[in-house]
Structure 1
Amino acid sequence: MIIQGPKKIAFFLPNTFTALNMACGFASIVFAMKGQFYMGSMILLLGAIFDSVDGRVARLTGTQSSFGEQFDSISDVISFGMAPALLLYLRFFQDLGRIGVIIPFIYLLCGALRLARFNANIDRVTSDYFQGLPIPGAALAVIGFVLFSTEFTLGPWAKYIAAFYAVAYGFLMISNIPFASFKNSEFVKKNKRKVLAIIFLTFTLILVHEQVMILGVTTLYVLSCLVYDFAHRKELATIFDWKEEDEE
């Protein structure tokens, strides 16, 4: 079927945001190679905004497609996999030899596996929870840490903390830990004004002091989800266990 007229324009609109996300990932790599880690991190933050928009635009215009899903995943591998891994390597691991290459590669590999698993299970995963930490969330955590390191001196411990970050967030992505999506949250539905106020306040604080707030927000989200999973382990234990007939 050939798409024509306004429908054709609507089809390309979400893919344009996906392409902009990919462009931000490429630009981040260029900035990182020049040693401009602040700009490399901030351009990835812009990419995360584009990534959050493309899916919503596709749903609003009714132009969701298999092509768009695959294009989005390829873009995410570059922007939230390769670019953060390279930021980590060039910022912290250049003088560690082979181990310095392996550590950020673990993050990149886990991110690619996370996206592949998401695509394979896209019709089965509940909309209430993500299966493992989404790769944009892991990338924001890396961005937050890199930005924090540009503002505060971490001394000889920087590379060890960065290594922990890369490996820990890599395994969080491929874990079966449920991370809240807030898509169908009853709290959000009942407290829309309060939630909007919290979101507005958070974005304001990020604009004021991004070197601290991005790290703080992502850490708070991850820790709260881990605590919730621990407190409701029995209730959430089988949330990602699909029946055999679902796999046929």
Structure 2
Amino acid sequence: MYDARGRWPRRRLAAGLSVRAIVPNAITAAALCSGLTGIRFAIAGDFEKSVQAVIVAALLDGIDGRAARLLKAETRFGAELDSLADAISFGVAPALIVYLWTLNALPGLGWIAALAFAICCVLRLARFNARLDMLDQPHKSAGFLTGVPAPLGAGLAFLPMYLWIGTSRPEFANPVVVSLWMLINAFLMISNLPTLSWSRLSPPRGVRIGLIALVGLTVSALLIEPWLTLVGLTVFYLALLPLGLITYLRVKRQGFPAKATPAGASAALPDDGAH
């Protein structure tokens, strides 16, 4: 029906979600389905596909926030949906995949390590949501994140699997070592360690052309030798952790102004998937 002005009324969903907001939230739903499908592959014993499914979920997770901003469809609903999807795709799914892969050889310690990883991921996301409207966030105001983001935490947790698949060496599936590795990653996610965000990654002008070439070569390496390339990318990120801490301490000594974020400003993905 036409409205009083003779125009079609703007179509909205029953809960107040605009039609335009469907796109970023559909991407979030796709990421959730990809993470859950990773569990299905792990149950079937196809661990390569299970890891690939979680990686696809991480890629989609990095897109939905940007799509929301591009379409000006940032909503609190999207932010909550994204966190719930992340809890499953990057908390529950990696924990179950790694447990079905090797941790089930240690029903006690292995399950505790899997539980610790999953619950720490959920706690991180809950902390992130609780701070959405907080104005005083020293790490964020200086351009840093707090702890390892959930998608990257999942990627780090899979490091032993990358090595196991890429080299076919059974020692990388040692359940004791993998359990300890899962516990370390669980701690990194809920820690107060300042980590570098995209806004801090600003290479000098002189190397930017070379950086473009490096990205192209990395994509080629992922197509040719994906698992060992993932090992290299994971090790590179681990090397950035102490660099992030050193950079933050230097910035803190120099002093930085607090950047107030307007209360109520929310998005489908407030930090481009870095929560």
Which TM-score applies when normalising by structure 2? 0.78
Q: Give the match for residue 11 of structure 1.
A: 21
Contact 1:206 1:213 in 2 (8 A): yes
After TM superposition, give the deviation of residue 87 of structure 1 in Å: 1.1
2:179 aligned with 1:163: yes
For the aligned residue pairs, the C-alpha RMSD in angstroms reads 2.9
Contact 2:146 2:195 in 1 (8 A): yes
- The CA distance in 2 between the partners of 1:198 and 1:156, in whole Å, is 29
- The CA distance in 2 between the partners of 1:201 and 1:131, in whole Å, is 30
Which stretches in structure 1 are left out of the alignment for 5+ residues? Answer: none
1:231 to 1:20, Cα distance in 2 relative to 1, 3 A: closer
Q: Give the match for residue 121 of structure 2.
A: 111
Contact 2:110 2:175 in 1 (8 A): no
- The number of residues matched between the two structures is 241
Q: Give the match for residue 122 of structure 1.
A: 132
- The CA distance in 2 between the partners of 1:231 and 1:61, in whole Å, is 34
Contact 1:29 1:86 in 2 (8 A): yes
Contact 2:98 2:158 in 1 (8 A): no
Which stretches in structure 2 are left out of the alignment for 5+ residues? Answer: 1-8, 264-275
After TM superposition, give the deviation of residue 204 of structure 1 in Å: 1.9
- The CA distance in 2 between the partners of 1:204 and 1:97, in whole Å, is 39
Q: Give, as a single letter, the amino acid of the residue that structure 2 aligns with 1:53.
A: I
Cα displacement string for residues 50-91 of structure 1 (whole angstroms, at most 9, x for unaligned residues): 101000000111111110000000000111011100111111
- The CA distance in 2 between the partners of 1:119 and 1:170, in whole Å, is 18
Q: Give the match for residue 199 of structure 2.
A: 183
Q: Give, as a single letter, the amino acid of the residue that structure 2 aligns with 1:206.
A: L
2:104 aligned with 1:89: no
Structure 1: 4+ residue segments shifted above 6 A: none
1:8 to 1:196, Cα distance in 2 relative to 1, 3 A: farther
2:146 aligned with 1:136: no
After TM superposition, give the deviation of residue 231 of structure 1 in Å: 6.4
Percent of aligned positions that are identical:
28
Alignment equivalent of 1:60, drawn from 52, 67, 70: 70
1:184 to 1:62, Cα distance in 2 relative to 1, 3 A: farther
2:223 aligned with 1:198: no
Of structures 1 and 2, the larger Rg is shown by 2
With 157-166 and 8-17 compared, the bigger mean Cα shift is at 157-166
Cα displacement string for residues 192-244 of structure 1 (whole angstroms, at most 9, x for unaligned residues): 434333322222212221211112212211222224414653644899xx9xx
Contact 2:105 2:175 in 1 (8 A): no
Cα displacement string for residues 163-195 of structure 1 (whole angstroms, at most 9, x for unaligned residues): 122011111111111111122544277854343
2:166 aligned with 1:151: yes
- The CA distance in 1 between the partners of 2:144 and 2:125, in whole Å, is 15
Q: Give the match for residue 55 of structure 2.
A: 45
Q: Give the match for residue 99 of structure 1.
A: 109
Contact 1:177 1:229 in 2 (8 A): yes
Alignment equivalent of 1:215, drawn from 231, 253, 262: 231
1:156 to 1:23, Cα distance in 2 relative to 1, 3 A: closer
Cα displacement string for residues 3-52 of structure 1 (whole angstroms, at most 9, x for unaligned residues): 528x9332100001100100011100001111110110011111111101
Q: Give, as a single letter, the amino acid of the residue that structure 1 aligns with 2:191.
A: S
SS of equivalent to 1:97: coil
- The CA distance in 2 between the partners of 1:156 and 1:184, in whole Å, is 33
SS of equivalent to 1:187: coil
Q: Give, as a single letter, the amino acid of the residue that structure 2 aligns with 1:151.
A: G
Q: Give the match for residue 41 of structure 2.
A: 31
Flag the structure with more relative contact order, 1 or 2, with Cα contacts below 8 A and sequence separation at least 6: 2
1:186 to 1:220, Cα distance in 2 relative to 1, 3 A: closer
Which TM-score applies when normalising by structure 1? 0.86
